[in-house]
């Protein structure tokens, strides 16, 4: 308790300002000071359970965020994070006094904490859902929330014992896994240790005691190792920083439990970390270490080539170190180290170093998962189950027949694997070979398995797959396929009864196109056949799946070019398609493609702008149906008399066909413009 008192009491706004300025000497500390004094004033009647003035809490949260080198907006919002919930001040005031951005951050944090008086599990699920949804909008909200949780856990001893237990369990269940998944391992580790003390106090004390007894001995050992390695590296002119590494208590405990081992048997108590200048040095250093000491084969992991799903990168090896002790080594670059320690928060570091590329955190795997899940799942409990699966399951690594590594959740089946490759592969899976033997689709895969998916155009997802798939991705894709299937059957029944007009049902599969591949390209394709798509067997003569790209939606008559994708056949783009620029780095994968005569039709979307008048819509639809085409879908948006926008999805045979329709439509009275839209045409796929 004494230690705690000293730590808190000695810190004030000056501490925060110093910490911010150490990161960025030009930071706008005036705003931070203003927020601090404002929060101090409005919280002046509030006290923490510790008896201290309330302002200590937001200050500590801000300090945690400053140590993560977060930006000024985040730190300011942290100072204000409890103002709206606990005082009379509202968001408008914060917006006026500070900024909309800061008010939005405060709002996000407030919303997460505002769920109370519900049954525990539902409330927990709801908290988690809100928190994750906030993450999509602005991930800084969740980083503030995690810092908030961390300070509350640091001061948990002021709560009643029952509350301590409940809070610690929730932290271990929800907050620590999210921090881990976002890669903020510094916070994740501390949250786990703080919960661990509360939940398993005896085990914690015992590990702590054992660690303390060993500390001296280990320190001397690590110094020896550092010296040997440093000398060898200098000889070879490789510069690197070598540090000892403290393991956190909970991870030792977890390993003892998982591997059913005693404290003394746990490997990685003697551990060092090497920070290299460049990636190539990492592998060089690994080589040096493996010549100095014998590696334990089974313990080598290359997370640089295959990053973990929270973007963690590093080389891990365990060697028999001096004196015969196992020595665990992590090797990585400075940038990888930042990602390892603070994960997604490292995205705000680029101000400091121009070298660091700006990465879009919308592409972070967790954020993608959340986006996907929330689009499909409405109940908080389903959401919780879905996301928990992604947060908690361990991972396995399996291979495609071409040797590509795929990362899957433990317990994954060939169906999970198929969906991880591509939705279309998943949808058309009919069988699987595991290590060259045909196996049932529900077989659980093991790390190292080589998996080959057998597909057929006639294959389609089955309800029974839901019983064994483990990835939320596969589950979501199967469910939405089945749901759409039901809808189509239903609407087909309805149209049958209400008779006219008999709208042709849109095709179930992507329209397959007839193309001729010019002679000089066949050699390229033969090669492709040899080493491509062995993981997919595709029906038909060409052996290659040809698909029209969704981005520019070419139709016969358009000037097109094919692009050989990795394992997904050929996609056909218009020569004017902007996405070709992105692909142009790999020129050798382009092939020429020409249209063949065919009677196929293609769905396209057109936009019609007009000034509204009675009977206009009827005139348009009449004109379209006279042009020998089907309307698959029509949308109208009449804002006022002078502004009517329509969107039609129609089936056309070719570019010429489409142009004829457009010309005809343009002649209709009151129509001001008609154009083709390059929007996704979603059929019932």
Residues serving a catalytic function are 85-86
Asked if 170 touches Mn ion (CB under 5 A), the answer is: no
Q: In angstroms, what is the minimal distance from the CB of 193 to Mn ion?
A: 20
Q: In angstroms, what is the minimal distance from the CB of 136 to Mn ion?
A: 22
Tally the C-alpha atoms within 13 A of residue 6's C-alpha that lie toward its C-beta: 3
Q: Hey, which residues does 647 pair with through a beta bridge? A: 607, 635
Residue 436 Rama label (left phi>0; alpha psi -120 to 50; beta): left
- 574 closest CA partner among 550, 598, 597: 550
Binding part of the chain for Mn ion, among 41-49, 144-152, 289-297, 604-612 by CB under 5 A, reads: 144-152
Q: In angstroms, what is the minimal distance from the CB of 83 to Mn ion?
A: 10
Binding part of the chain for Mn ion, among 141-149, 246-254, 272-280, 292-300 by CB under 5 A, reads: 141-149
Under DSSP, is residue 515 helix (H, G, I), strand (E, B) or coil? Answer: strand
Binding part of the chain for Mn ion, among 81-89, 340-348, 471-479, 604-612 by CB under 5 A, reads: 81-89
Q: In angstroms, what is the minimal distance from the CB of 7 to Mn ion?
A: 18
Identity of the residue, 82 or 268, whose beta carbon is nearer to Mn ion in the bound complex = 82
Q: In angstroms, what is the minimal distance from the CB of 171 to Mn ion?
A: 14
Q: In angstroms, what is the minimal distance from the CB of 19 to Mn ion?
A: 19
559 phi, psi to nearest 5 deg? -75, 115
E strands present in 402-492: 405-409, 429-434, 437-439, 451-455
Q: In angstroms, what is the minimal distance from the CB of 390 to Mn ion?
A: 27
Q: In angstroms, what is the minimal distance from the CB of 110 to Mn ion?
A: 10
Identity of the residue, 148 or 369, whose beta carbon is nearer to Mn ion in the bound complex = 148
What's the CA gap between 534 and 654, in Å, rounded? Answer: 33
Binding part of the chain for Mn ion, among 145-153, 186-194, 333-341, 435-443 by CB under 5 A, reads: 145-153
The count of residues interacting with Mn ion (CB under 5 A) is 2
542 phi, psi to nearest 5 deg? -65, -25
Q: How would DSSP label each residue in 139-188?
A: HHHHHHHHHHHHHHHHTGGGS-HHHHHHHHHHIIIIIHHHHHHTT-HHHH
What's the CA gap between 603 and 608, in Å, rounded? Answer: 16
CB burial of residue 614 (10 Å; 0-12, 13-18, 19+): exposed
What's the CA gap between 65 and 145, in Å, rounded? Answer: 10
Asked if 148 touches Mn ion (CB under 5 A), the answer is: yes
Residue 671 tokens read as 């129509």
Among 60, 71, 82, 126, binds Mn ion (CB under 5 A): 82
Identity of the residue, 59 or 269, whose beta carbon is nearer to Mn ion in the bound complex = 59
Q: Which residue is nearest to Mn ion (CB)?
A: 148
Under DSSP, is residue 652 helix (H, G, I), strand (E, B) or coil? Answer: strand
Identity of the residue, 43 or 337, whose beta carbon is nearer to Mn ion in the bound complex = 43
Q: What is the CA radius of gyration of the chain?
A: 30
From residue 202 to residue 241, the character string flagging contacts with Mn ion as x (rule: CB under 5 A) and all else as - is ----------------------------------------
Identity of the residue, 144 or 644, whose beta carbon is nearer to Mn ion in the bound complex = 144
Identity of the residue, 58 or 603, whose beta carbon is nearer to Mn ion in the bound complex = 58
Identity of the residue, 43 or 332, whose beta carbon is nearer to Mn ion in the bound complex = 43
Q: Hey, which residues does 331 pair with through a beta bridge? A: 274, 315
Q: Judge whether 75 and 32 are in contact, CB under 8 Å.
A: yes
Binding part of the chain for Mn ion, among 140-148, 335-343, 347-355, 486-494 by CB under 5 A, reads: 140-148
Instruction: List C-alpha distances in Å: 28 to 31, 75, 181, 341.
Output: 6, 11, 31, 26
Binding part of the chain for Mn ion, among 78-86, 116-124, 339-347, 517-525 by CB under 5 A, reads: 78-86
Q: Which residue has the tokens 């790999």?
A: 586
Asked if 60 touches Mn ion (CB under 5 A), the answer is: no
Residue 182 tokens read as 């976002």
Identity of the residue, 147 or 282, whose beta carbon is nearer to Mn ion in the bound complex = 147
Interface ranges with Mn ion (CB under 5 A): 82, 148
């Amino acid at each position: 308790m004494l230690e705690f008192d000293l730590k808190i009491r000695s810190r004030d706004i000056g501490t925060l300002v110093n910490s911010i300025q150490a990161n960025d000497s030009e930071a706008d500390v005036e705003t931070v000071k203003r927020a601090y004094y404002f929060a101090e004033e409005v919280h002046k009647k509030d006290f923490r359970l510790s008896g201290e003035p309330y302002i200590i809490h937001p200050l500590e949260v801000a300090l945690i965020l400053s140590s993560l080198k977060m930006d000024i907006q985040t730190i300011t919002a942290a100072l204000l994070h409890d103002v709206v919930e606990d005082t009379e001040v509202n968001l408008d005031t914060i917006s006026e006094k500070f900024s909309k951005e800061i008010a939005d951050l405060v709002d996000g944090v407030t919303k997460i904490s505002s769920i109370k008086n519900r049954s525990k599990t539902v409330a927990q699920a709801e908290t988690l859902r809100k928190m994750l949804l906030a993450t999509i909008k602005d991930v800084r909200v969740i980083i503030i929330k995690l810092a908030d949780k961390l300070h509350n856990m640091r001061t948990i001893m002021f709560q009643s014992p029952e509350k301590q237990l409940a809070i610690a369990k929730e932290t271990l269940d929800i907050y620590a896994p999210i921090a881990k998944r976002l890669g903020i391992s510094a916070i994740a580790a501390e949250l786990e240790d703080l919960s661990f003390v509360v939940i398993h106090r005896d085990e914690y004390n015992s590990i702590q005691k054992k660690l303390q007894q060993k500390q001296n001995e280990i320190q001397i050992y690590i110094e020896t190792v550092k010296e040997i390695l440093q000398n060898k590296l200098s000889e070879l002119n490789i510069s690197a920083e070598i540090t000892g590494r403290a393991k956190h208590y909970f991870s030792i405990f977890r390993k003892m439990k998982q591997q059913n081992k005693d404290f003394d048997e746990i490997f990685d108590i003697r551990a060092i970390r090497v920070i290299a200048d460049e990636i190539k040095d990492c592998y060089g250093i690994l080589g040096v270490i493996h010549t100095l000491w014998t590696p334990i084969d089974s313990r080598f992991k290359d997370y640089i080539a295959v990053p973990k799903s929270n973007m963690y990168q590093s080389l891990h090896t365990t060697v028999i170190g001096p004196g015969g002790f196992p020595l665990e080594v992590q090797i990585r670059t400075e940038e990888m180290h930042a990602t390892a320690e603070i994960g997604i928060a490292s995205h705000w570091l680029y101000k400091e170093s121009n070298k660091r590329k700006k990465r879009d955190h919308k592409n972070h795997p967790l954020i993608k998962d959340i986006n996907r899940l929330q689009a499909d799942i409405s109940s908080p409990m389903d959401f919780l189950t879905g996301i928990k699966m992604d947060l908690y399951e361990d991972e396995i690594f399996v291979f495609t027949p071409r040797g590509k590594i795929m990362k899957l959740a433990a317990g994954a089946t060939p169906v999970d694997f198929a969906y991880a490759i591509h939705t279309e592969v998943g949808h058309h899976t009919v069988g699987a070979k595991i290590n060259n033997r045909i196996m049932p689709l529900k077989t659980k895969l093991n790390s190292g398995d080589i998996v080959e998916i057998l597909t057929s155009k006639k294959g389609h997802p089955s309800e029974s797959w839901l019983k064994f798939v483990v990835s939320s991705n596969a589950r979501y894709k199967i469910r939405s396929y089945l749901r759409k299937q039901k809808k189509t059957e239903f609407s087909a029944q309805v149209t049958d009864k209400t008779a006219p007009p008999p709208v042709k049902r849109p095709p179930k599969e992507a329209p397959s196109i007839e193309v001729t591949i010019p002679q000089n390209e066949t050699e390229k394709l033969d090669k492709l056949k040899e080493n491509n798509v062995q993981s997919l067997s595709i029906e038909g003569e060409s052996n290659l799946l040809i698909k029209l790209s969704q981005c520019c939606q070419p139709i016969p008559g358009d000037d097109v070019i094919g692009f050989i994708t990795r394992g997904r056949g050929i996609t056909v783009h218009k020569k004017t398609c902007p996405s070709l620029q992105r692909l142009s780095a790999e020129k050798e994968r382009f092939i020429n493609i020409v249209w063949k005569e065919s009677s196929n039709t293609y769905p396209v979307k057109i936009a019609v702008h007009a000034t509204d008048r009675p009977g206009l819509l009827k005139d348009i639809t009449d004109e379209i149906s006279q042009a020998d085409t089907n309307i698959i879908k029509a949308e109208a948006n009449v804002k006022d008399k002078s502004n009517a926008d329509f969107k039609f999805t129609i089936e056309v045979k070719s570019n010429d066909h489409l142009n004829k329709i457009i010309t005809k439509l343009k002649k209709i009275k009151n129509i001001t413009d008609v154009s083709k839209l390059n929007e996704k045409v979603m059929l019932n796929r």
